[in-house]
Structure 1
């Protein structure tokens, strides 16, 4: 069995929050435990819950459902609720992947218990869009390093992000795999202004002071990633960590809380 190593990429895809995706840094560092690096056909289905902020910098957090689906093929292609539609390859300790995904939406009012925040009233909605996601990682024994980028295709004005991460394998047994990951996200000027800036027009409607931003690091984060194997088909994956805003993202009038907890757990069936 190759237990699935579902990560915070799921939060980005399913909760429509502008939260950095710690897909590579927080995944189990052993390729045998990470479907992203598996060359065999596999299917993973599951359901879980995530506890996340209403938006990046939001004061309140909420619980959102987390459906999980991933189908990987031996030729390298995959389709996933967390990673989108893409292709992956591995050469020795080097892993590369490219995918087409969707994300980046933000509502300026609370539409339901899963979406939007009234703290953003007057800021205007941010539409979701197609995104190209590229990742590269290299493994040094129990430690791996990764570099990724999300390029906005459908809404070029929303900008792009770049993520640098590292993970450390803490434990690897037949029943339990434990890892520690850290990650930092850099946003270009368009991205930081879109999600953390306040234009004069937005200031007039929202009441927030005008806040113009520049490119820079927007956040750092860390998490513990635990996968528990129940039997040949079933496993439970849990991630517990935090995210701290930095730079203009932390100084934005929209940011009510610089550091927020991020929790996720899911029951997964693999075959």
Structure 2
């Protein structure tokens, strides 16, 4: 998953655990389940781009009663519920960023001369807390390869707005904090990159990379089929917003998927 869609998914999925993947991995008394689906995501070419594109969004998730899950959105991991707290650890992958448009689905010519950001395996660690009907979460993305790319920390909040037998609508917000290495990797411009790309040299320091807010909607068609959608906006902040690579600070995000649950 390229950086732009990765951050968009993190933001939108932080709105509600029900956005695109199945509900959080089943607790031991809920049994096994399998969810499959296909959708579309409208996201920027990269974080800060003024161009967006529509990308296919595959949804696959297998959860086991012992807490293990395999998911296209959340990686391969394990989740446990302890009272109002939820803990999870997973192995995921970020495909990085290309400095040229390889095809419709990958890269951006606006980044020519910036060099590629290679893909890397990541450890995804999350802590959630249920405060009444409001869900709070803290997630960190730690690179296992290319440690020089830095780490991200995501604060999330989600709350139900409307619930019926066929429809569930929720609101959520999230904030992404990047350390020095991450901010420099995605929003900084070194002297060498400046000479190759034409962008002015820029040093990006640790800080809140972006904030997002939006609404998600799950519409149940029958016992197995449902349509899950989300719409929101993502706003770059602090040094990410001031980066010469940033051509648009606020971008819309839209995702929808047809889901079948076995």
**TM > 0.5 fold call:** yes
Q: Which residue of 1 aligns with 2:159?
A: 168
- What does 1:90-239 correspond to in 2, within 5 Å? 90-239=81-230
**Alpha-carbon distance in 2 for matches of 1:28, 1:19:** 15
**Alpha-carbon distance in 2 for matches of 1:163, 1:19:** 10
TM-score by length of 2: 0.94
1:174 Cα deviation after fit: 1.6
Task: Report if aligned partners of 2:22, 2:35 keep a CA contact under 8 Å in 1.
Answer: no
Among 3, 11, 16, the residue aligned to 1:27: 16
Among 34, 46, 49, the residue aligned to 1:43: 34
TM-score by length of 1: 0.91
**Alpha-carbon distance in 2 for matches of 1:23, 1:59:** 19
- 1:143-183 Cα shifts (integer Å, max 9, x gaps): 11111100011110000000111111111222111110001
**Alpha-carbon distance in 2 for matches of 1:79, 1:127:** 23
- 1:80-117 Cα shifts (integer Å, max 9, x gaps): 11111000011222111110000051000111111100
1:19 Cα deviation after fit: 2.0
RMSD of equivalent CA atoms: 1.7
Q: Please list every run of 5 or more consecutive structure 2 residues that lacks an aligned counterpart in the other structure.
A: none
Among 236, 250, 256, the residue aligned to 1:259: 250
Task: Report if aligned partners of 2:25, 2:69 keep a CA contact under 8 Å in 1.
Answer: no
- 1:197-241 Cα shifts (integer Å, max 9, x gaps): 000000000000000111111100001011001001100000100
Task: Report if aligned partners of 1:19, 1:55 keep a CA contact under 8 Å in 2.
Answer: no
Q: Which residue of 2 aligns with 1:4?
A: none
Work out the number of aligned pairs and report it. 256
**Alpha-carbon distance in 2 for matches of 1:229, 1:166:** 23
**Alpha-carbon distance in 1 for matches of 2:99, 2:14:** 30
Q: Which residue of 2 aligns with 1:59?
A: 50
